[in-house]
């Protein structure tokens, strides 16, 4: 036991720790640097880049670290690259760690819900902003445990540098055991030293997890308690349910359904206005299945169009094509006269350029599943994009966010995370977010179909007000016939990617001419809102 | 706390110094004189490229007596090979840096240029002489390490080893010698000997202590040290003479260093320093071998 403590405090072994940490640090820092590049390459849209990265990953993940160490140390000098043992060990460890770190990064990035990047793109974020502000902050939270693993692994793997004469802890231990014959005392001491080092890595991991925990308990004295292994996370506060159908939504005056004459006047006026959206011979296939074949549609400025049709008829895809979240095979989409997804010279735009174009033409989008940024408060969901995409100042963005939250009746929930809001509240925040930069065209993809029935009303109410007060051009895909009749100027009925009926809302809904439309309306009105088999 | 520690360490150091003063005195003086001897001065003039340089000596520091950590001060390596390297350095005017590697990595380290020479109780065999040039300095005497009382009755590298398990280090010359027993053992109708390959002496000795292996055949001095450390558990069964010499390895690209070492080593042996060093480390003094180059294309 005395010998054990003697070796545990032996300066010679403690100095070995320094070298162990140096090799590990080189390995992890270098591994991260290479790993980030590798992950970016693996996720690249260009096939040959991802093939290069994949080849590297297969080779360096698939060969033993000890061979890589010996290669860097003993083979590179023959090529004229002479690295010191410490650097050679660090470089080999970095080359070996990189593919593992790259895969953690890739898994983390791919693990972020697809809707998050849809929403970011729809808000006009460039790929870089999207990665920096939306994807990375969410991915990092899921990646920390894996990084903790990788840190511990790297620390233990650094012991293989003993094979290339780096005087780290393991090499020092074996040499000491050889000269003193005190095998067990020496190895138990060095084992305990390793345990302390890896314990340090675990502590860093837990601190990082805590620091990034969006629901972390505030206040002092809780930090240590938080790190105890038997501590369990407090039950998450349940999302507060909206107590009434229209809680908080200002109802200043009851909205009266306009008369038939008023509608006709409005239609006539709209028809004289400029064209907002023009879809020309749009064709799109998923593999051998055709989604659209030569689809044509025009929407006038200020017009509100309801897209109706059974599930799978192409409503969502059409909306996603209009702001280029989806590509198509042939045909054109023009917003305000500009060809979506192409430069004025007809060249296909990159994702970042498309994002810029969305900002320029002023198109916003609302999603079925809200797609609020999960790591940002309600206010920040609105203010963030204003700052990052539109260059607003901190104050102006915050003020605008508060103003819009007040308007959708959520002024008191500004600091709440999306997951603590009810579905209806989340969609109201999403509406505020979509119109915040002053969008002229709003695409609404089944905005109420993911909501519990009692929350549908509050969201429709907000959209209805938007239609009246903001005079936006809107294209709404929906199953809510009554809402369509009240709000929409025009109804477009889509089935199997074809427009089979297109006319004034009241007319189409009360006197459908196409038998498919008639059947759909009949089924919907009889309350069978789901599984519409047509 | 730290003061107390420093004091006790200083006491330990001075005690150690006092104990080692009498026998060590002539050795130290001789080593210091060496650099100023006429032959060494002449060599430094003839080979100026080594003067003032730091050469890297690759060692496998798991052989107490030849090269191992100083148990009293683990930041230093000690042993005959270390003293010999320092003596060569003072004669030719270079200083040394030691790089510890696995035994099997000694010659690759030299070949890759990560080391300038190898002085590490390595036997200059014909095969190894293809990878490096060697300068001999000692004959080889091996000992057979076995568990206390020699339960398997092993008497050397002979038919007594049939059916036993030997622990050896990867790359040791004893490895093929044991492997070559397979045919005679089979002819005698006995099972062939098994080999366990390790990376250093400590692991081989552990293999016997743990009952995994029956014997470990290596330099007799290493065997004696192991028996001294575990007198209740280990014993030396026999001594074996092998037809090899221990040599200093030098890169084939560096014939001048090789020639300089031959001449410097001759001077060291002539001055009686090597004999004193072997006495100091308790090695068989009859083993001294004059410097001869062993090289194979």
Q: Which of A99, A93, A101 is nearest to A22 (CA)?
A: A93
- Contact across the interface for B69 and A82, Cβ inside 8 Å: no
Structure tokens at B193: 């000997």
- Using CA coordinates, name the residue in chain A closest to B99: A165
- Residues facing B67 on adjacent strands: B63
pLDDT surpassing 70 at residue A532: no
CB of A68 within 8 A of CB of A95?
yes
- What whole-number distance in Å separates Cα of residue A380 and Cα of residue A370? 15
Q: What is the band of B8 on the pLDDT scale with cuts at 50, 70, 90?
A: very low
Q: Does B164 touch chain A (CB under 8 A)?
A: no
Output the CA torsion sign for B271, B272, B278, B279.
negative
Angle B282-B285-B291 from CA coordinates, rounded to 5°: 120
Choose from A170, A179, A188 for mutation: most chain B CBs within 10 A.
A179
Number of inter-chain CB pairs under 8 A, A vs B: 82
Section B223-238 average pLDDT: 92
What is the distance in angstroms between the CA of the first residue and the CA of the last residue of chain B?
60
pLDDT surpassing 60 at residue A472: yes
pLDDT, tens digit (0-9, with 9 covering 90-100), for B261-284: 999 999 999 999 999 999 999 887
pLDDT surpassing 90 at residue A321: yes
> Which residues of chain B neighbour A183 with C-beta distances below 8 Å?
202, 206
Give how far B207 is from chain A: nearest CA, Å: 12
Identify the burial level of A390 via C-beta atoms within 10 angstroms of its C-beta, where 0-12 means exposed, 13-18 middle and 19 or more buried.
middle
pLDDT surpassing 70 at residue B129: yes
Give how far A173 is from chain B: nearest CA, Å: 10
Q: Does B58 touch chain A (CB under 8 A)?
A: yes
In 3-state terms, what secondary structure has residue A440?
Answer: coil
pLDDT surpassing 80 at residue A330: yes
pLDDT, tens digit (0-9, with 9 covering 90-100), for B16-56: 444 444 444 455 556 667 878 899 999 999 999 999 999 99
- Contact across the interface for B114 and A78, Cβ inside 8 Å: no
Q: What is the band of A453 on the pLDDT scale with cuts at 50, 70, 90?
A: confident
- Contact across the interface for A85 and B201, Cβ inside 8 Å: no
Q: Are residues B234 and B253 in the same domain?
A: no
Give how far B274 is from chain A: nearest CA, Å: 22
Q: Does B294 touch chain A (CB under 8 A)?
A: no
- Contact across the interface for A181 and B68, Cβ inside 8 Å: no
Give how far A343 is from chain B: nearest CA, Å: 57
- What whole-number distance in Å separates Cα of residue B284 and Cα of residue B139? 9
CB of A83 within 8 A of CB of A95?
no
pLDDT surpassing 70 at residue B79: yes
pLDDT at A163: 84
Query: What pTM was estimated for this model as a whole?
Result: 0.78
- B215-219 and B133-147 as β-strands: parallel, antiparallel, unpaired? antiparallel
pLDDT at B103: 87
pLDDT at A273: 86
For A137-141, B8-12, B27-31, which range has the lowest pLDDT when averaged over its residues?
B8-12
Section A464-487 average pLDDT: 88
When CB atoms are compared, the residue of A74, A78, A167 closest to B100 is A167
- Contact across the interface for A172 and B108, Cβ inside 8 Å: no
* Neighbour count for residue A47 (Cβ, 10 Å): 8
Domain(s) labelled CATH 1.10.3720.10 in chain A stretch across 2-212
- What whole-number distance in Å separates Cα of residue B181 and Cα of residue B165? 12
- Contact across the interface for A175 and B62, Cβ inside 8 Å: yes
Q: Which of A469, A293, A437 is nearest to A360 (CA)?
A: A437
Output the CA torsion sign for A213, A214, A217, A218.
positive
Give how far A96 is from chain B: nearest CA, Å: 21
Structure tokens at A496: 């199997």
Give how far B139 is from chain A: nearest CA, Å: 23
- What whole-number distance in Å separates Cα of residue A486 and Cα of residue A434? 22
What share of chain A in percent tops pLDDT 70? 91
pLDDT surpassing 60 at residue A254: no
pLDDT at A372: 97
> Which residues of chain A neighbour B63 with C-beta distances below 8 Å?
178
A-side interface with B, Cβ within 8 Å?
A: 10-13, 15, 70, 73-75, 77-78, 82, 85, 163-165, 167, 171-172, 174-181, 183
pLDDT at A1: 73
A123: Cβ–Cβ under 8 A, 6 or more apart, which residues? A358, A364, A385, A389, A433, A434, A437
CB of A205 within 8 A of CB of A141?
no
Residue B77: CATH number of its domain: 3.40.190.10
- Contact across the interface for A74 and B201, Cβ inside 8 Å: no
Residue whose structure tokens are 């050679």:
A88
For A146-150, A451-455, B9-13, B235-239, which range has the lowest pLDDT when averaged over its residues?
B9-13
- A330-335 and A490-495 as β-strands: parallel, antiparallel, unpaired? unpaired
pLDDT at A223: 53
Give how far B108 is from chain A: nearest CA, Å: 7
pLDDT surpassing 50 at residue A250: no
Give how far A105 is from chain B: nearest CA, Å: 36
CB of B252 within 8 A of CB of B239?
no
- What whole-number distance in Å separates Cα of residue B136 and Cα of residue B293? 7
- Contact across the interface for B64 and A179, Cβ inside 8 Å: yes
What's the number of domains chain B is made of?
Answer: 2
Q: Are residues B66 and B168 in the same domain?
A: no
A116: Cβ–Cβ under 8 A, 6 or more apart, which residues? A134, A135, A138, A371, A373, A374
- What whole-number distance in Å separates Cα of residue A501 and Cα of residue B115? 85
> Which residues of chain B neighbour A73 with C-beta distances below 8 Å?
112, 114
pLDDT at B199: 84
- Residues facing A285 on adjacent strands: A290
- What whole-number distance in Å separates Cα of residue A448 and Cα of residue A462? 12
- Contact across the interface for A174 and B202, Cβ inside 8 Å: yes
Q: Are residues B9 and B50 in the same domain?
A: yes
Domain(s) labelled CATH 3.40.50.300 in chain A stretch across 260-371+439-533
Q: Are residues B111 and B257 in the same domain?
A: yes
Structure tokens at A395: 């104050």
Q: What is the band of B172 on the pLDDT scale with cuts at 50, 70, 90?
A: confident
Which parts of A43-135 fold into alpha helices (H)? Answer: 47-62, 65-70, 85-111, 114-122, 127-129
- Using CA coordinates, name the residue in chain B closest to A183: B202
CB of B212 within 8 A of CB of B195?
no
Tell me phi and psi for residue A363, to 5 degrees: -110, 130
Q: Are residues B71 and B184 in the same domain?
A: no
> Which residues of chain A neighbour B71 with C-beta distances below 8 Å?
176, 179-180
- Using CA coordinates, name the residue in chain A closest to B107: A74
Average pLDDT over chain B, rounded to whole? 87
Full residue range of the structural domain in which residue B31 is found = 3-140+244-294
pLDDT, tens digit (0-9, with 9 covering 90-100), for A140-198: 999 999 999 999 999 999 999 988 888 899 989 988 888 888 888 999 999 999 999 99
pLDDT at B282: 85
Q: Does B201 touch chain A (CB under 8 A)?
A: yes
**Exposed e or buried b per residue across A306-341, where buried means at least 16 C-beta atoms within 10 angstroms of its C-beta:** bbbbbeebbbbbbbbbbbbbbebeebebbbbeebbb
> Which residues of chain A neighbour B111 with C-beta distances below 8 Å?
74
What is the distance in angstroms between the CA of the first residue and the CA of the last residue of chain A?
82
Q: Which of A412, A274, A390, A293 is nearest to A334 (CA)?
A: A274
- What whole-number distance in Å separates Cα of residue A16 and Cα of residue A133? 41
pLDDT surpassing 90 at residue A246: no
pLDDT at B14: 44
Q: Are residues B224 and B237 in the same domain?
A: yes
What share of chain A in percent tops pLDDT 90? 66
pLDDT at B12: 43
Tell me phi and psi for residue B266, to 5 degrees: -55, -45
- Contact across the interface for B109 and A171, Cβ inside 8 Å: no
Output the CA torsion sign for B120, B123, B128, B130.
positive
Q: Are residues B130 and B238 in the same domain?
A: no
- Contact across the interface for B206 and A77, Cβ inside 8 Å: no
Q: What is the DSSP string of A191-236?
A: HHHHHHHHHHHHHHHHHHHHHT-TTPPPSTTHHHHHH-TT--PPPP
- What whole-number distance in Å separates Cα of residue B183 and Cα of residue A470? 98
Q: What is the band of A498 on the pLDDT scale with cuts at 50, 70, 90?
A: very high
Query: What element of type H or E holds B33?
Result: helix B2-34
> Which residues of chain A neighbour B100 with C-beta distances below 8 Å?
165, 167, 171, 175
pLDDT surpassing 60 at residue A222: no
Give how far B11 is from chain A: nearest CA, Å: 17
Tell me what ipTM this predicted complex has: 0.74
pLDDT, tens digit (0-9, with 9 covering 90-100), for A33-48: 999 999 999 999 899 9
- Contact across the interface for A12 and B206, Cβ inside 8 Å: no
- Single out the residue in B243, B268, B285 at which a domain terminates: B243
CB of A55 within 8 A of CB of B89?
no
pLDDT at A228: 54
Query: What element of type H or E holds A476?
Result: strand A473-477
pLDDT at A165: 82
CB of A85 within 8 A of CB of A164?
yes
Q: Are residues B48 and B168 in the same domain?
A: no
Residue whose structure tokens are 């140390």:
A73
pLDDT at B154: 95
- What whole-number distance in Å separates Cα of residue B31 and Cα of residue A34? 51
CB of A77 within 8 A of CB of A147?
no
pLDDT at A226: 52
- Contact across the interface for A181 and B229, Cβ inside 8 Å: yes
Q: Which CATH class is domain A260-371+439-533?
A: alpha beta
Q: What is the band of A485 on the pLDDT scale with cuts at 50, 70, 90?
A: confident
Give how far A29 is from chain B: nearest CA, Å: 25
**Exposed e or buried b per residue across A240-261, where buried means at least 16 C-beta atoms within 10 angstroms of its C-beta:** eebeeebbbbeeeeeeeeeeee
CB of A279 within 8 A of CB of A307?
no
pLDDT at A255: 55
In 3-state terms, what secondary structure has residue B79?
Answer: coil
pLDDT surpassing 80 at residue A26: yes
- Contact across the interface for A181 and B206, Cβ inside 8 Å: no
* Neighbour count for residue B193 (Cβ, 10 Å): 23
Q: Are residues B177 and B37 in the same domain?
A: no
In 3-state terms, what secondary structure has residue A274?
Answer: coil
Residue whose structure tokens are 């540098």:
A161
When CB atoms are compared, the residue of A74, A172, A183 closest to B112 is A74
pLDDT surpassing 90 at residue A487: no
Structure tokens at A223: 């930090």
Choose from A17, A89, A175 for mutation: most chain B CBs within 10 A.
A175
Structure tokens at A167: 């005087």
pLDDT at A215: 78
Rg over alpha carbons for chain B, rounded to the nearest Å, is 20
pLDDT surpassing 60 at residue A312: yes
B277: Cβ–Cβ under 8 A, 6 or more apart, which residues? B27, B80, B83, B84, B87
Q: Are residues B10 and B126 in the same domain?
A: yes
pLDDT at B28: 56
Q: Looking at domain A2-212, which of 2.60.40.10, 1.10.357.10, 3.10.50.40, 1.10.3720.10 is its CATH number?
A: 1.10.3720.10
Q: Does B171 touch chain A (CB under 8 A)?
A: no
pLDDT surpassing 50 at residue A138: yes
Residues in chain A, overall count: 534
Tell me phi and psi for residue A146, to 5 degrees: -65, -35
> Which residues of chain A neighbour B112 with C-beta distances below 8 Å?
73-75, 77-78
């Amino acid at each position: 036991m005395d010998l054990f403590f003697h070796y545990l405090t032996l300066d010679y072994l403690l100095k070995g720790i320094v070298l162990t940490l140096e090799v590990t640090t080189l390995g992890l820092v270098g591994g991260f640097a290479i790993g980030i590049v590798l992950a970016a390459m693996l996720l690249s849209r260009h096939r040959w880049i991802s093939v290069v990265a994949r080849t590297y990953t297969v080779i360096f993940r698939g060969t033993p670290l000890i061979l890589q160490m010996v290669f860097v140390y003993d083979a590179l000098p023959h090529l004229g690259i002479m690295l010191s043992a410490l650097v050679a060990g660090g470089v080999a460890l970095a080359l070996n760690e990189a593919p593992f770190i790259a895969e953690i990064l890739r898994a983390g990035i791919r693990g972020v819900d697809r809707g998050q990047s849809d929403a970011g793109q729809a808000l006009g974020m460039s790929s870089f902003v999207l990665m920096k502000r939306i994807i990375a902050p969410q991915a990092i939270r899921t990646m920390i445990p894996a990084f903790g693993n990788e840190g511990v692994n790297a620390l233990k793997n650094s012991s293989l540098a003993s094979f290339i004469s780096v005087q780290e802890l393991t090499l020092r231990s074996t040499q000491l055991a050889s000269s003193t014959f005190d095998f067990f005392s020496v190895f138990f001491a060095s084992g305990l030293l390793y345990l302390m080092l890896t314990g340090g890595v675990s502590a860093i991991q837990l601190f990082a997890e805590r620091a990034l925990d969006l629901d972390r308990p505030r206040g002092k004295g809780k930090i240590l308690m938080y790190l105890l292994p038997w501590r369990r996370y407090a039950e998450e506060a349940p999302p507060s349910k909206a107590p009434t159908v229209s809680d908080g939504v200002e109802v200043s005056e009851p909205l009266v359904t306009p008369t038939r004459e008023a509608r006709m006047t409005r239609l006539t006026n709209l028809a004289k206005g400029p064209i907002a959206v023009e879809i020309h011979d749009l064709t799109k296939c998923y593999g051998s299945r055709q989604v659209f074949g030569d689809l044509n549609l025009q929407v006038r400025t200020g017009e509100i169009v309801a897209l109706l049709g059974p599930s799978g008829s192409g409503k969502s895809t059409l909306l996603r094509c209009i702001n280029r979240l989806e590509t198509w095979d042939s045909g054109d989409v023009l917003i305000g006269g500009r060809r979506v997804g192409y430069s004025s010279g007809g060249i296909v735009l990159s994702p970042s350029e498309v994002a810029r174009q969305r900002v320029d033409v002023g198109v916003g989008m609302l999603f079925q599943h809200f797609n609020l940024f999960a790591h940002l408060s309600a206010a920040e969901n609105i203010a963030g994009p204003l700052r990052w995409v539109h260059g607003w100042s901190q104050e102006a963005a915050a003020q605008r966010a508060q103003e819009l939250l007040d308007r959708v009746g959520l002024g008191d929930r500004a600091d709440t995370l999306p997951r603590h809001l009810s579905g209806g509240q989340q969609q109201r925040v999403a509406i505020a977010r979509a119109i915040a930069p002053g969008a002229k065209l709003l695409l609404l993809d089944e905005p109420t179909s993911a909501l519990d029935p009692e929350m549908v009303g509050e969201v429709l109410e907000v959209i209805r007000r938007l239609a009246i007060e903001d005079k936006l051009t809107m294209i709404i895909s929906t199953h809510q016939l009554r809402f369509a009749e009240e709000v929409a100027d025009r109804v477009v009925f889509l089935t199997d990617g074809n427009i089979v009926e297109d006319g004034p809302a009241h007319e189409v809904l009360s006197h459908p001419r196409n038998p498919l439309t008639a059947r759909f309306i009949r089924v919907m009105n009889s309350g069978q809102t789901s599984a519409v088999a047509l | 706390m730290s003061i107390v520690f420093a004091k006790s360490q200083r006491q330990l150091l001075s005690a150690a110094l006092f104990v080692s003063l009498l026998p060590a005195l002539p050795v130290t003086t001789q080593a210091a004189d060496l650099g100023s001897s006429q032959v060494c001065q002449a060599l430094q003039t003839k080979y100026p490229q080594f003067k003032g340089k730091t050469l890297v000596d690759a060692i496998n520091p798991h052989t107490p007596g030849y090269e191992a950590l100083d148990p009293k001060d683990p930041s230093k390596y000690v042993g005959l090979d270390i003293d010999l390297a320092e003596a060569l350095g003072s004669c030719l005017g270079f200083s040394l840096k030691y790089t510890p590697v696995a035994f099997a990595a000694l010659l690759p380290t030299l070949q890759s240029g990560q080391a300038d020479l190898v002085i590490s109780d390595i036997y200059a065999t014909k095969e190894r002489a293809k990878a490096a040039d060697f300068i001999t300095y000692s004959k080889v005497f091996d000992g057979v390490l076995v568990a206390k009382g020699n339960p398997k009755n092993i008497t050397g590298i002979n038919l007594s080893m049939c059916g036993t398990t030997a622990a050896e280090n990867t790359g040791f010359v004893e490895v093929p010698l044991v492997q070559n027993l397979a045919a005679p053992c089979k002819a005698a109708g006995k099972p062939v000997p098994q080999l366990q390959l390790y990376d250093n002496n400590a692991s081989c000795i552990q293999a016997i202590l743990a009952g995994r292996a029956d014997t470990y055949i290596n330099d007799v001095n290493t065997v004696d040290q192991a028996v001294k450390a575990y007198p209740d558990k280990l014993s030396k069964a026999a001594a074996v003479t092998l037809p090899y010499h221990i040599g200093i390895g030098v890169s084939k690209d560096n014939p001048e260093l090789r020639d300089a070492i031959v001449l410097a080593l001759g001077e060291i042996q002539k001055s009686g320093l090597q004999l004193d060093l072997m006495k100091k480390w308790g090695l068989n003094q009859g083993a001294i071998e004059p410097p001869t180059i062993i090289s194979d294309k």
